[in-house]
Every structure is written in C-alpha cells, then in structure tokens.
Amino acid sequence: MTLLELQNFSCGYGEMIAVRDLSVAVEPGRILALLGPNGAGKTSTILAIMGHVQIKSGSLSVAGNDITRTAALRRVEMGLALVPEGRRLFSDLTVAENLTVGGYSHSRADEKRNLAKVFELFPRLFERRTQLAASLSGGEQQMLAIGRALMSQPKLLLVDELSLGLMPKMVDLCIGALQKLNREEGLAIVLVEQNTARALDVAHQVCVLASGRSVFTGSAESARRDVDLLHSYTGVAA
C-alpha cells in the first residue's frame, strides 16, 4: 500500500497559495527527492505534510488513512517525522537532552531503545552526549537533528536541506546514515535537496517543483537519464 499520497494538494499561508495541485506518492521503503529552485514550495510542502502549514485543498493520506485534517502530534504518532531546515535544535540543552526532551518516544522503554539506536547510528553523538548542542560542529548538529527525528520511530522521514552549509564529507556521513536506515529498515524518506546530484544518487523517485507546481515526477532512473532537463527545471547549471 502507498505510504504517503498527496492528491491535488494545495497549501499556503493565509491568502497566499505556496503549492498548487500537487499529486505525488511515496511507496514504503522508497526515497523521494523533492527538488526545485528557491521559493518553489519544497519546505511548505513538507511542513504541510507534518501539519504545520495549512492545506488549502486536495488530500493527504498515510497508509490509506486521510490525514488532511489530523493534528500535527497525531501525525508523528502515525509515523511521520521531520528534520527541519536549519536543524532547530535546543542549543542550550545537551545532545542527550535534545534527543529525549526534543524527540518524541511512545514510552520510556521506547525512549531507551531509540536512544541506543541513534547512538549506534551516530557514535559521535554518543561521544558528545553531555555536550551542549550549540557547541557541536554543523555536521554533528545535522546528525543530532536526524537523531531527534528518529526518536519517534518514524515510517517516513521528511528531511529539509540536509546538505546546506556542510562539508562534503559530512554530507556523505549524514546521507549514508539515511541510506543505511532505508536499506536495512525500510525507512521511507522525502529528501528536499539543493544538491541535485547527491539527491539523485540515493533517490528512487523524483518530484521537481517550480513556482509551487510540479514540473516533473518520475523515477530517479528517468531523471538521471535526462539530467540536463532536470537541471533546467531545478535552475542548476548543467
């Protein structure tokens, strides 16, 4: 069954429509790259999926359940989690506190298990567990933002601009961790990326937005076959 489905989906802010008539689906265990130039509506789309931006029309469903009007917290309980643009960590809390206080676990036992899993995925976070989030490097902060989202044991992880401002080595480390979770645990991912090439490396499906509308949806394979066309859509020089 389709994990996430947007049908004729529009979202926006007050009178302003940021994304119009978007239809796209994510199958279980798949990675969707959501691409497009600045202001295309990528962040608005994933914030609306999480329940933080208003859906204006159309529908949104998770595993066949319509969640168009479902509260944000309930969406987390249903298996959606967000790694937000800019990471949004609690800078004066420690690494461990960001994971336990900032994350969402169903129970204490889950929390313990989830914490151990995050530390296993990112040993650097374990080494720095008592350090304040503000004192981490950019790459470590991104690991922490991913780790915090994983605390709710999501089925679908929405990741906004993971690579922004990070050294290529750190991007590889973070994307490598996501790919591992995808391969080994079947975690589905929506990856919003400026780095088209890096996103195409790991994605199974691609959706390109421009000015709030979908201009391309298809397999990553078909997108890779015509990278020049894709670059013309995303505004990246080929």
Cα dihedral 195, 196, 198, 204 in deg (nearest 10): 140
3-class SS at 24? Answer: strand
In the complex with ligand ATP, which residue's Cβ is closer, 36 or 147?
36
In the range 1-20, which residues lie near ligand ATP by CB under 6 A? 13, 16, 18
| 43 sits near Mg ion (criterion: CB under 5 A) | yes
In the complex with ligand ATP, which residue's Cβ is closer, 39 or 186?
39
Q: Which does 18 bind (CB under 5 to 8 A by kind): ligand ATP, Mg ion, none?
A: ligand ATP
In the complex with ligand ATP, which residue's Cβ is closer, 5 or 161?
161
| 42 sits near ligand ATP (criterion: CB under 6 A) | yes
| 44 sits near ligand ATP (criterion: CB under 6 A) | yes
3-state helix vs strand vs coil in the chain, percent to 5: 40, 30, 30
Measured between alpha carbons, how far is 120 from 146 in angstroms, rounded to an integer?
13
Distances (CA, A) of 36 to 24, 43, 197, 202, 231: 15, 11, 13, 17, 9
In the complex with Mg ion, which residue's Cβ is closer, 86 or 186?
86
Measured between alpha carbons, how far is 195 from 168 in angstroms, rounded to an integer?
11
Least distance in Å: CB of 237 to ligand ATP?
16
Q: Which parts of this chain interact with Mg ion (CB under 5 A)?
A: 43
Q: Which parts of this chain interact with ligand ATP (CB under 6 A)?
A: 13, 16, 18, 36, 38-44
